[in-house]
Amino acid sequence: MEYLTIGNIKIKKTAALAPMAGVADTAYRTAAKRFGAAYVVGEMVSIKGLAYSDRKSAELLTITDAERPAAVQLFGCEPEFVPAAVEIAERYKPDIIDFNAGCPVPKVAGNGSGSALMKEPKLFGEMVAAIVKAAHVPVTVKIRAGWDAEHINACETAHIAEECGAAAVAVHGRTRTQMYTGKADREIIARVKQTVRIPVTLDERLGVMREQIELLVRCKGEFTGMKEARAQAAFYLKGMTGAARYRGMCGRLSDLKGLYDLIDLIKAENGE
């Protein structure tokens, strides 16, 4: 069985249950898992509603062990409410927090959330960064191809998500104006995949990092090679759970043994 790794969460490469408002409740998600879903996502919950302790929103966050690995999905456009909302969401012990920047329905996009964030890349980045900073689990992001046919910006938006620390990006290949009609553009999905480096299976990423640094040491010697390797190693770890601490350790690397110890530590702490 092949796996996709999102942060420290391993997901079988079969099929996942997408979030569906008014549909994907606990019973539906449990049934989907029973019939083979490798991963499920709950109904989207308002960040602002959670911050104001909205009971109905909180009820949507419940996850049972039979559903795991499972994510809760949040939406919103006001970064100041993110810390409180994430703190409440994590009480329900999700494996992943998914941020919805793709919902096209008027009551969401019309208030500046969901796919409306495709028109506001700066605010989009602020929201993703705030969620990543507040969360203790991997953060994923859902986007669309763009707002309309004249503003296809999924690649740029996905890159922002990656730079802000998102562990994975899901792309709906339609614009907001298409809603759920017309043909999904698989070409834009392919271009996004080529643009960003997330997600990759963790073992593959660390293996490539090790090979590159070993070659660097062979070419330039351990003293010079490891000095240059510090920045290279840190680059490989971007977006990973615990990345800030690991990057700090990269800055102190002085020999290959230190590199190997760091790789072993990352694998141990991320379930590899």
Cα distance between residue 253 and residue 96, in whole Å: 31
Pick the closest to residue 172 from 164, 181, 163 (CA basis).
181
Identity of the amino acid at 61: L
Per-residue confidence (pLDDT) for residue 66, from 0 to 100: 93
Q: What is the mean pLDDT of residues 238-245?
A: 75
Q: What is the mean pLDDT of residues 55-77?
A: 91
Catalytic residue among 103, 155, 164, 250: 103
Cα distance between residue 174 and residue 172, in whole Å: 6
Residue 75: CB atoms within 10 A of its CB come to: 25
Per-residue confidence (pLDDT) for residue 215, from 0 to 100: 82
Q: Is the Cα dihedral 207, 213, 218, 219 positive or negative? A: positive
- Please determine, for residue 19, whether its predicted confidence score (pLDDT) is greater than 50: yes
Per-residue confidence (pLDDT) for residue 204, from 0 to 100: 62
Q: Is the Cα dihedral 21, 25, 31, 37 positive or negative? A: positive
Return the minimum-mean-pLDDT range out of 136-145, 209-218, 257-266. Answer: 209-218
- Please determine, for residue 244, whether its predicted confidence score (pLDDT) is greater than 90: no
Architecture of domain 202-269: Orthogonal Bundle (1.10)
pLDDT tens-digit readout, 84-140: 999 999 999 999 999 999 999 999 999 999 999 999 999 999 999 999 999 999 999
Bond preceding residue 106 cis, omega within 30 of 0: no
6 within 8 A of 96, measured Cβ to Cβ: yes
Per-residue confidence (pLDDT) for residue 223, from 0 to 100: 93
Pick the closest to residue 245 from 236, 234, 253 (CA basis).
234
Radius of gyration of the chain (CA): 20
Instruction: Indicate the DSSP class of residue 198.
Output: -
The CA-atom distances, in angstroms, between 37 and each of 11, 31, 32, 171 are: 10, 9, 5, 19
Q: What is the mean pLDDT of residues 181-189?
A: 85
Q: Where are the domains of the chain?
A: 3-195, 202-269
Q: How many helices (H) and strands (E) does the chain have?
A: 12, 8
Cα distance between residue 145 and residue 152, in whole Å: 6
Q: What is the mean pLDDT of residues 187-203?
A: 76
Q: What is the mean pLDDT of residues 194-207?
A: 70
77 has catalytic annotation: no
192 within 8 A of 145, measured Cβ to Cβ: no
Kindly indicate the confidence band of residue 59, based on its pLDDT and cuts at 50, 70 and 90.
Answer: confident
Kindly indicate the confidence band of residue 7, based on its pLDDT and cuts at 50, 70 and 90.
Answer: confident
- Please determine, for residue 28, whether its predicted confidence score (pLDDT) is greater than 50: yes
Identify the CATH number of the domain defined by range 3-195.
3.20.20.70
- Please determine, for residue 200, whether its predicted confidence score (pLDDT) is greater than 60: no
Kindly indicate the confidence band of residue 271, based on its pLDDT and cuts at 50, 70 and 90.
Answer: low
Strands 16-17 and 9-12: unpaired
What's the mean pLDDT when you consider all of the chain? 89
Cα distance between residue 114 and residue 98, in whole Å: 12
Q: What is the mean pLDDT of residues 223-234?
A: 89
85 within 8 A of 76, measured Cβ to Cβ: yes
